[in-house]
Structures are given as C-alpha cells and as structure tokens.
Amino acid sequence: GQQVMQIPQYQHVQEGEDFTTYCNSSTTLSNIQWYKQRPGGHPVFLIQLVKSGEVKKQKRLTFQFGEAKKNSSLHITATQTTDVGTYFCAGQAGATNKLIFGTGTLLAVQP
C-alpha cells in the first residue's frame, strides 16, 4: 500500500543550527501538507504544497515539493527552542485520494 516515510525520526540540534526533515512517498502525490505537533499537543497545520517544484516560505521555515511530486522537505533556519516538536508531512495520492501521514520527525532544540 501507499507509504509516506520521513527521515530522520529524531534530530537534536543546538539553538541557532539549521534543521531539515525529508518526506518520501512511494506514489505520486496530488498535494502535500505539513503539520507541527508540540509535545503534549495536537497536530497544527503549517502549509500545503500543490505544484511540482513548489517552494514556500514562512519566516524561518522553507517548504519544498519535489519535481516528481513524490518527496518534500521542510527546512528551518537558525532553530529556536519554540521550534521543538514533531513535524509531520501528509500526502494525498491522486489515484487513491487517501490522505496518508508520514512517520514524523521529532526535533529537540538545546538552548
């Protein structure tokens, strides 16, 4: 079945360092969504990417959708302690129309 994998599973950085998480799908996606879940909280929507090769920015966060629409990345520049949490991608496959969440990347930021 369709799978969405994220790497790494866990990343520990010093405050001020950059961070990137990668999302890879076994099938072509119609769109991809990114969510952030703070410890003890619930997932909160960050952004949606639809077009091949699309790049979107939100302050220190840069989101990219691959040309083949099978992978995506989230890059955080100069991490802050407020960036702590688990980042999930969720891909919607055009053929099956299902929304599949990735395995998530837990980011820890040391002050």
Partner 1 sequence: ETGVTQTPRHLVMGMTNKKSLKCEQHLGHNAMYWYKQSAKKPLELMFVYNFKEQTENNSVPSRFSPECPNSSHLFLHLHTLQPEDSALYLCASSQVYLDTQYFGPGTRLTVL
Instruction: Catalog residues that contact partner 1 under the rule CB under 8 A.
Output: 4, 33, 35, 41-45, 48, 88, 90, 92, 97-104
Q: Are 74 and 65 in contact (CB under 8 A)?
A: no
Judged by beta carbon, residue 49 or residue 109, the one nearer partner 1 is: 49
CB of 71 to partner 1, least distance (A): 16
80 close to 19: Cβ distance less than 8 angstroms: no
Cβ nearer to partner 1, comparing 76 with 100: 100
Task: Compute how many other C-beta atoms are within 10 angstroms of the C-beta atom of residue 107.
Answer: 21
CB of 88 to partner 1, least distance (A): 7
C-alpha to C-alpha distance for 90 and 62, rounded to whole angstroms: 16
